[in-house]
């Protein structure tokens, strides 16, 4: 699948967590194994992963900033990330493929270099701060955060919009992202859905618990599932870590169990045994609901965003339409997992394979490159 005719570089926001964006960049590196990966910051864990996979890393000056792994997102308020990506030199490359949800599309390329951006979403912190910072625990700064952040966020929006005009071609990960790219950047894009971990799973008997798998950030509204299951005294298991964990534990009842970070095999086992996955956040696409369906499990989801492109109400799951515990409870009270055919759920998930994703991206990159070359 490797294309020998172009010199290509990959770019991503950072390599600290291990989520959807990181999976994408590793998969794209399989297509172009000689391509270096440019990024702002790399954790020690990711340094080892890249060394094992023989990935050439190009890291920005931000790597030397104090406590960079813990304070990474806070440095962005002071424009460090935009400056970091603008500082990279891509002389000699034919194509740059950036994977962005925040800043990696802010690179500067020469006229002869093609910049294709796979956009998960325009940065939520920049363009939708009222949602991103909702329920964030700023302590004594809570009441002053809007005033304190308003000016730097205005600068970030201006810089982000300007950077987006330097991208030659946008790929959106969903129709939701496509609409946001058009709204915030005024740019058109094509849609190529990301992939989920799709492989044969043995059918397992459903357990008596619902499951949440998510980074525990306040904007993801995991609190609505915790509150709903606590009030209904329904068993809920939560996989994931994040800054909202302390608050979530404080409102959780005896039926809610927090499992923290778990290995992939444990996550797969939990998906195979749960009654259903609960997806509380509005996401641009949402990998986890697809993974749940791949295990033959239905999804209960807040019916907004990318999940509307993957889950079919009444067939592979159900939606609730207000991001509140009361709205979710209305679905949970009468939910019957026997209504949903595991084979239909699995078939629905097969639309989002890694092979389909890589084939679509490679085809598009080749089309763009050779059309510009000719």
Looking at per-residue pLDDT, the higher value among 203 and 108 belongs to: 108
- State residue 147's pLDDT score: 64
Residues present in the chain in total? 374
How far is the C-alpha of 12 from the C-alpha of 106, rounded, in Å?
10
How far is the C-alpha of 364 from the C-alpha of 31, rounded, in Å?
13
pTM: 0.83
- State residue 131's pLDDT score: 65
- State residue 140's pLDDT score: 42
* Res. 2: pLDDT tops 50: no
- State residue 17's pLDDT score: 85
CB burial readout 299-328, b (16+ within 10 A) else e: bbbbbebbbbbbbbeeebbbbbeebbbebb
Domain map (residue ranges) of the chain: 8-195+353-373, 210-352
Find, among 289, 125, 118, the residue nearest to 190 by Cα: 118
What percent of the chain shows pLDDT beyond 70?
91
Superfamily of domain 210-352: Glycogen Phosphorylase B; (3.40.50.2000)
- State residue 127's pLDDT score: 81
Copy the structure tokens of residue 173: 């990960």
- State residue 20's pLDDT score: 81
Beta bridge mates, 37: 10, 57
Average pLDDT over residues 314-334: 97
- Tokens 């979530």 — which residue? 248
What digits encode the pLDDT tens for the residues 62-113? 999 999 888 887 888 788 999 999 999 999 999 999 999 989 999 999 999 9
Helix ranges (H only) for the chain are 20-31, 44-52, 68-75, 80-86, 124-127, 129-132, 145-164, 175-185, 222-232, 245-251, 264-273, 287-294, 325-332, 342-349, 354-373
- State residue 133's pLDDT score: 59
- State residue 112's pLDDT score: 93
Domains 8-195+353-373 and 210-352 in one fold: yes
- State residue 136's pLDDT score: 52
- State residue 271's pLDDT score: 94
- State residue 146's pLDDT score: 61
What digits encode the pLDDT tens for the residues 125-160? 788 876 665 545 444 445 545 666 777 888 889 999
Average pLDDT over residues 194-209: 73
CATH of domain 8-195+353-373: 3.40.50
Average pLDDT over residues 286-303: 95
What digits encode the pLDDT tens for the residues 29-40? 999 999 999 999
């Amino acid at each position: 699948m490797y294309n020998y005719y172009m010199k290509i570089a990959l770019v991503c926001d950072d390599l600290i967590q291990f989520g959807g964006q990181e999976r994408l960049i590793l998969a794209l590196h399989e297509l172009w194994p000689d391509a270096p990966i440019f990024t702002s910051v790399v954790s020690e864990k990711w340094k080892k992963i890249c060394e094992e996979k023989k990935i050439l890393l190009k890291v920005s000056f931000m790597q030397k900033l104090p406590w960079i792994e813990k304070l990474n997102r806070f440095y962005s308020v002071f424009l460090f990330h935009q400056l970091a990506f603008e500082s990279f030199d891509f002389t000699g490359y034919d194509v740059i493929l950036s994977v962005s949800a925040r800043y990696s599309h802010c690179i500067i390329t020469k006229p002869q270099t093609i910049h294709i951006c796979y956009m998960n979403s325009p940065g939520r912190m920049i363009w939708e701060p009222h949602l991103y910072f909702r329920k964030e625990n700023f302590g004594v700064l809570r009441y002053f955060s809007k005033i304190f952040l308003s000016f730097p966020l205005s600068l970030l929006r201006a810089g982000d919009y300007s950077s987006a005009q330097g991208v030659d071609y946008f790929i959106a990960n969903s129709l939701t992202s496509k609409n946001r790219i058009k709204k915030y950047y005024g740019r058109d894009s094509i849609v190529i859905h990301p992939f989920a971990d799709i492989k044969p799973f043995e059918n397992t008997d459903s357990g008596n618990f619902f499951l949440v798998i998510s980074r525990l950030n306040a904007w993801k509204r995991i609190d609505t599932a915790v509150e709903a299951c606590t009030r209904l005294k329904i068993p809920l298991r939560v996989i994931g870590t994040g800054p909202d964990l302390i608050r979530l534990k404080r409102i959780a009842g005896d039926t809610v169990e927090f499992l923290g970070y778990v290995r992939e095999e444990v996550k797969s086992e939990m998906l195979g045994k749960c009654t259903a996955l609960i997806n509380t956040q509005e996401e641009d696409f949402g990998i986890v609901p697809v993974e749940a369906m791949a295990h033959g499990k239905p999804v209960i989801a807040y019916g907004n965003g990318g999940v509307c492109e993957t889950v079919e109400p009444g067939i592979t799951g159900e939606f609730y339409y207000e991001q509140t515990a009361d709205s979710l409870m209305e679905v949970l009270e009468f939910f019957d997992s026997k209504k949903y055919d595991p084979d239909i759920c699995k078939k629905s998930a097969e639309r989002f394979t890694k092979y389909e994703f890589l084939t679509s991206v490679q085809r598009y990159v080749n089309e763009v490159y050779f059309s510009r070359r000719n």
